[in-house]
Structure 1
Amino acid sequence: MLFRRRKNADFWERVRTLVWPRRSFWRSARYFAKRALRLRATPHAIAAGIAAGAFASFTPFLGFHFVIAAAVAWVIGGNLVASAIGTAVGNPLTFPFIWGATLELGKLILYGRHPSSIGPMDIGHLLWKLEFSKLWEPFIKPMVVGSLPLGIAAGLIFYVLTRWTVAAFQEQRRRRLAERARRRALAQSGAKAMAG
């Protein structure tokens, strides 16, 4: 293989790379932004796809963000590839803040300021035993309810920013290609005049 590692990564190196990339999160974010800008679709489709991915990142259904984003993008006329890129809003750096905000907002919406029925719980034990019914009421249900307004707000913000950026990028690209075609036509007409 042409671009293989000289030394294979061990288990801990793979775990570290999964949590913290070798280069940086900023480089990954720039890559995703450039990838979204270069999609061949309308500014609305790209922006709607990114917004759908951002919305899906706020839901507590961690293994299903791509599926949720694709379904929302399909409903609102977004690009499916852009929806997958938009799910990068939810990452190891943002998930603790997203989950905390959705849980607290969901508790506030469902139970008021200080819910008395929810006390401290051993979440690790419940996750280990997979007692979903005991996790639903105190955690998952408030996170689902809290994720809706926060996800919609994030989706709207990402839609506006992405649509404006993609429209400007595509217009600049159109002008650049038109200028290149004009120069090429001038060069060809000049070559024909010299030959004739």
Structure 2
Amino acid sequence: MHWWASFRRLLRFQYLRLLRLKASTHSIAMGLAVGIFVGCLPVIPFQTIAAVVMAFVFRGSKVAAALGTWISNPVNMIPFYTMLYYIGSLVMPVQAHFNPHHLELEAMLHQGWEIVVVMFAGGILLGVPLAFLTYIVTFRMVNAYRQRRMIKLLKQYEAGRKAREHADMGAGR
């Protein structure tokens, strides 16, 4: 299987997994929004833990929060964190040298607190609007999916009921 097809299957699986969570629409949307927000922060080894804790505080889905942290993943980490640094440096001018090849929190702290603070600022500036947008889109998406599913189930129920009535009328002759 081509790598792109595998990637698309993985994305579709996670998408359907998110839609089918046994939680309220608000909880799923809030959990994913919290996960996206935390995923924008440079706390590499603690993203999932932080997202799950924040999802608990904001009454969001913990599974959706954990999925949301994958906005920053090993594939896009270097360009993503470089973007956080540059966004943060727009509001916090710092002369520190940023090395994108040392993205572990401990390594960044050795480069200087300024870099971590600038990246946190960039993460907040990027994460807040992304979280709001994620909440709105996810809420509507999950709501629409559930409405379509409910209509489909009602149609199946009605078809089954009519078939049973027809069978009962035929047997009662």
- Which stretch of structure 1 is more off in the superposition, 95-104 or 170-179? 95-104
Alignment of 1:165 with 2:141, yes or no, is yes
**In structure 2, what residue type is equivalent to 1:118?**
A
Separation in 2, partners of 1:122, 1:89 = 17
1:65 corresponds in structure 2 to 47
Residue deviations 1:25-76, cap 9 Å, x none? Answer: 3332222111101112221111111111111111111111111111221222
Counterpart residue identity of residue 173, structure 1? R
Q: Is the alpha carbon distance of 1:119 and 1:48 closer, same or farther for their aligned partners in structure 2, counting shifts above 3 Å?
A: closer
Check if 1:35 corresponds to 2:17.
Answer: yes
Does 1:90 find its partner at 2:72? Answer: yes
Amino acid at match of 2:139: R
Q: Tell me, in whole angstroms, the C-alpha distance in 2 between the residues paired with 1:172 and 1:48.
A: 21
User: 1:67-110, CA deviations, whole angstroms, 9 ceiling, x for partnerless residues?
Assistant: 11112212222111111122222223432332112111222222
Give the AA of the match of 1:154. Answer: L
Structure 2: gaps spanning 5 or more residues: none
Aligned-residue sequence identity (percent) comes to 27
Q: Which amino acid counterpart does residue 159 of structure 2 have in structure 1?
A: R
CA 1:176–1:61: 2 relative to 1, 3 Å = same
Q: How many residues align?
A: 169
Match of 2:116 among 124, 134, 140: 140
**Compared with structure 1, are the counterparts of its residues 159 and 186 closer, same or farther at alpha carbon in structure 2 (3 Å cutoff)?**
same
Decide which moves more: 167-176 or 144-153: 144-153
* Distance in 1 (alpha carbons) for counterparts of 2:40 and 2:16: 23
Structure 1's 48 and 24: CA in aligned 2 closer, same or farther, altered over 3 A?
same
1:178 aligns with 2:154: yes
Does the aligned pair in 1 maintain the 2:89–2:122 contact within 8 Å? yes
**Aligned CA distance change for structure 1 residues 194 and 69 (closer, same or farther; 3 Å):** same
What TM-score do you get using the length of structure 1 for normalisation?
0.75
- 1:1-196 equivalences in 2 (<5 Å): 24-111=6-93, 115=94, 117-119=95-97, 133-196=109-172
Between the aligned partners of 2:145 and 2:96, the Cα distance in structure 1 is 49
Q: Which moved more, 1:131-140 or 1:98-107?
A: 131-140
- Evaluate the alpha carbon distance shift between residue 160 and residue 97 of structure 1 in structure 2; reply closer, same or farther with a 3 A threshold: farther
- Aligned equivalents of 2:98, 2:149: Cα separation in 1: 56
Q: Which runs of 5+ in 1 are unaligned?
A: 1-20
